[in-house]
Every structure is written in structure tokens, then in C-alpha cells.
Chain A
Amino acid sequence: MGMTITEKILARACGREAVQAGEFINARLDLALANDITAPLAIKEFEAAGAEKVWDPERVVLVCDHFVPNKDIKSAEQAKFVRDFARRQGLSNFYDVGRMGIEHVILPEKGLVVPGDVVIGADSHTCTYGALGAFATGVGSTDLAAGMATGEVWLRVPETIRFNLEGTPGKYVTGKDYILYIIGLIGVDGALYSAMEFAGGAMRALSMDGRFTMCNMAIEAGGKSGIVEPDEVTAQYCRGRVRREPAMLASDADAVYAQVIDIDVAGIQPQVARPHLPSNAVAASELAGLKIDQVVIGSCTNGRIEDLRMAAAVMKGRKVNPDVRTIVIPGSQEVYQQAMHEGLIDIFIDAEAAVSTPTCGPCLGGHMGILAAGERAVSTTNRNFVGRMGHVDSEVYLAGPYVAAATAIAGTVAVPGEVLS
């Protein structure tokens, strides 16, 4: 019987020829990740268990990205706790202010994740790395503590839902629109406990950044992981970044899927997910005229260079609507610098948008753009839950960078075509 790419990766990680969906395994880890919110709990559990040294100081990655540069005294204490542990343990991959970026942007960027890897992260958006053909899943702090101590994680081998994306997308339709459309189709628990395998001609044609965006949001459909079979686009991205040998695996033709869903991307319009679930996706055009107070462009979902290029293409030579506070947050120092070299930062500042150092910041209502009661944001982030970006009576509409930028200019939800014409 054939195996999916996910089953193949997990079989390798537990030293077996084959595994099947539904089996419980102990998998060897290639990487374990935590951030300034989840690491403190993990470190306490790690030390309480009597663990002294992490299993591999090169493979435990800690990133302070959520509440940094620290927003208040308590978050400063948390970051300090993480920093002290990283120093004590001699971790070579600790990323702090100045060197850091949003965890899911910098790990691939620095070549830390390699195709075929098994990665756990105490952050739900760890599933992002599936875009590289790795198995990556979010866990809590205690699972991460166990992983840091042992280099292993217990997993139930997930069933896979395969999404075959074919066809040619319309103008201004991006990976974000694909994934919002898919979550709208199957619901926020439509892929509960499952791996979401994105395949087909439209996926092969999609950029690496677009693939990161899609796998990033697998969790918003309840998925355990998202994955794309590595190809030439993946290999190109890895070249000059990764230092370990990649395993370029693919699903067998007779692999067993829980479900196969065919999607013609030509039928997908630019999407917006209305409050308060990512599954409330509609065509952006249906929300035309809806007044917006704030636009956020950034996050682990859409804070990469291609995302900033899309936003800049819309904002170039224009001013954002005076009633819209527009905040652009490059996902890493590398993205920031690249955007600067390409003149994108000038475009944003000329447009009267604010540009910030990398941080998760407003995405989770941390800092750098909190909403007041009754305010409404269009955001390229990943969640629009009640109170996600601030006051319990504020609203978040999720979209891709084109729609977000067009909305910033128009002051109401807009598609780029309207703004650019």
C-alpha cells in the first residue's frame, strides 16, 4: 500500500519502513521551537522534570517575537527568562531583538528547516514549514519541554486530506485567497487532526512565499499540519540556506487519503474572511463600501518579501486614506532590509503608512496596533476571533496583501482593480 508524504516522513522519523494513519509513534525531532509566550512555561516544566541539558543545543530554537521589543515589564521579564535559559544552555539558535523576526518567517529563511524534517513548535502556526515538504506541527509548552529534553515527540499519524488545485488564478489572487477559500469550504474544524496536502498544477506554479502562507493557515481548519511536496521551487529556495541534507519525498500514486478535494483556482476571487472565524470567507467584492479604521500588513502569514511587494504595487504613488491607520510589519530583518533595497519602505512611508520592526504585535492583540471598541481592521494575519486584535467589540477582517493595501487606499474594503484603475 502506498504512503502519503506525511506518512513517509513520520516512518523515517521513527526508524520504520512504513506507518499508517491512526498509529501512535515516537518520532525523532529535527527541530523544536518556542517563543517568548510559550517558552517560559516549557522551561519551567523542563527544569521541574530534572532535565539539565537540552537534547541538542543546535536544534532547540527560541525566538522572542510576540511581545518584543517588550511592551511592558511583565513581558520583559518573560523575554529575560527565555534569554537567560538560552545563554545557560548555549543555544546557537536564539533570536532576540535586532537579530530576530517572526519565528515562522526566520526559521525557513535561515535554512533551519529542511525538506523531510519533523518539527514541533510551541506555536500553533508551526505548520507553516510544511511548505518546505517537512512535517511540522504546533504543540503546547509541556510537549515542547518533553521534546527539548528527549529529542522525541509522540504523535498519532494523521489521516491526510488532499487538495488538488488546478487552473490559472485570476489577477490579484494569491496563496492567501486559496487558503481562505479552502477554510471557507471545509470549516474551522474541517481538517481536524488531519494533514492538509496541497497539490496540483496551481500549487506547483505557486511561489515559496505563497506556499508558506497556505500551510501557515492549515491550523485554522483544525489541521495538524499542511504540506506541499518539495519540487524545484523548494530546492531553489533551500539553495544557499540549508546546511543539512534534504529528503525530497513525495506521496505515492496509490497513497490512501481520507478525502480528495478538487479545486479550480480560476473560480477563486480575492477573499475576505469576516469576523469572527477564518471560515467566514466571501469574495472581497461582496464587502465593498465597508468602512475600515486600520489595516495591518505583516505576520507569520503574510510578512514575507513577496507580500510586501504586492502591497507596494498597490500603494506606490498613492496615499492611504486619512481615516485608515496603516501598519506594515516586515516579518524579519532580512525581509525589512530587502524591502528597503527594493524601495518598498519608501513607497509605504510616502503613502503615509507606519513601518515597524518585526514583531507578531497586533496580530494577537499584543501591541503595535490594538483596536478600540467598535473599530474594524482589515489584516493579512490569520485569526479574526472575538477580541483577537484588541477590544472585545472590535472586528478583524482577514485578507491578502493586495486587498489589504487596496483597502488602506480606499478607506473601505476594496480590490486592487478599483484602486489601480
Chain B
Amino acid sequence: MNMVFEGTAFKFGRDVDTDVIIPARYLNTTDPQELAAHVMEDIDREFVNQVKAGDIIVAEDNFGCGSSREQAPLAIKGAGVACVVAVSFARIFYRNAINIGLPILVCPEAARAARSGDLLRVDLDKGEVTNLTKQKVYQADRFPDFMQEIVAAGGLMQQVRHKISDRKSGPS
């Protein structure tokens, strides 16, 4: 799996809530492609037309605040966004992104400095964000070990799958 992404930054401010990431009027579906067609529509109408596969969302503090809708990271992932880099994330969004396999990084310096249009390289294994436009390298916060294990296992449901098969094959 390629853990290095290179893409154009789309910069957002602080407190980007899940209602603007994917408005509730579209929550009558769970199809990632249908959701992706409306991602960020209430904060930036042009985003869906401009974003390309592999691009990177960059935001200030508290990205993904508000509702628990997992449709928010699904819509972002469905639009082809490779990674979200922010100063901080709201906690439910943070868990959801890890659970569905949308790479996210807490990297305050990189997030604050980046501007829309900057070319970024994100190395997930090293936890490094390079702003190729500004020629600067930033170190991201490491995932706690406990969460690193979930990521390494291929997500939360993979862990659950193991537990279920252990239960089925193990002594009762």
C-alpha cells in the first residue's frame, strides 16, 4: 500500500463541521459516490469540480466537528481525497476517519502554513508533511500505539473479524 501521497492542497478554516462536509439533505443514502458528488458543497460550491484524485484537504482547528455521520469521511474519501491534514480534529470525525481508512494527520504547523494550491507530499509512515511549494518539511503528531494497531490491522472491523473467527473456531 502506497503510504506517500502527493497532491494539491485545498485549504479550509477552523470548525469545518460535518453539516457542510456533507449536508443532511443527502443523508438518505450511504453510497460513497453519491455522497462524494456533494462533498463540501455548503462551504465551497466549486470544490467538487476542482478536486482531483490524490488531492489533500488542509484545515485549521477542530475539523469535522458536529454530527457523528460517518458519511462525512466517506464523502471525502469518495471524492478521491488522499488525506486530511489539520491543526486538530473533532473526536468523532477522528475515530471515523481511522475506522474507514481515510488517512488523517494532526500537523499544526503544516496546516497553518499551507495555502490552497500548494503542492504537498504526505508520508504517513514517517508522519511527515512536505510543502513542496514552500520547500518546508513538518513533523506530524504520531498516532498513539493503541490506534496504530488498529491502522496496522487494516481498520477496526478487521480486528472484529479476527475476534469473530476466534470465537467461532475456539472452544466454547
Contacts and interface: CB of A to CB of B under 8 A. Distances in A.
A93 interface: no
Contacts of A51: 160, 164
Contact of B62 (A71, A78, A189, A388): A189
Contact of A141 (B17, B42, B70, B150): B70
Interface stretch (A142-150, A266-274, A307-315, A413-421): A142-150
A140 B95 contact: yes
Contact of A142 (B15, B24, B100): B100
Contacts of A145: 157, 160
B115 interface: no
A222 B71 CA distance: 19
Contacts of A140: 68-70, 73, 92, 95-96, 99-100
Given A41-B30, A366-B24, A385 B17 contact: yes
A400 interface: no
Contacts of A188: 15, 62, 65
B70 A124 contact: no
Interface stretch (A42-50, A168-176, A290-298): A42-50
Given A45-B157, A364-B19, A392-B42, A385 B96 contact: no
Most central of A140, A149, A154 by chain B CB within 10 Å:
A140
Given A44-B30, A192-B91, A364-B24, A142 B164 contact: no
A38 interface: yes
A141 B99 CA distance: 9
A386 B41 CA distance: 11
B68 A38 contact: yes
Contacts of A143: 95-96, 99, 156
Interface string B112-136: 0000000000000000000000000
A420 B31 CA distance: 51
B20 A385 contact: yes
B91 A224 contact: yes
Contacts of A228: none
B164 to A, nearest CB: 5
Interface string B12-23: 000101011001
Interface string A318-336: 0000000000000000000
Contact of B19 (A75, A138, A385): A385
Contacts of B164: 49-51, 149
Nearest to B145: A24
Interface string A117-153: 0000111101000000000001111110110011000
Nearest to A382: B66
B29 interface: yes
A277 B14 CA distance: 11
Contacts of B43: 386
Interface in A1-36: 24
A386 B30 contact: no
A47 B116 CA distance: 40
B29 A74 contact: yes
Given A41-B71, A189-B62, A48 B157 contact: yes
Contacts of B24: 37, 66, 364-366, 388
B97 to A, nearest CB: 9
B62 A192 contact: yes
B146 A189 contact: no
A149 B155 CA distance: 15
A232 interface: no
B90 interface: yes
Contacts of A139: 68, 92, 95-96
A141 B72 CA distance: 11
A260 B30 CA distance: 41
4 pairs of A and B residues whose beta carbons are closest in the complex: A140-B96, A74-B28, A142-B99, A140-B70
16 contacts: A37-B27, A38-B68, A38-B69, A40-B30, A41-B74, A66-B24, A67-B28, A139-B95, A146-B156, A150-B160, A189-B90, A219-B66, A224-B91, A277-B15, A364-B67, A392-B42
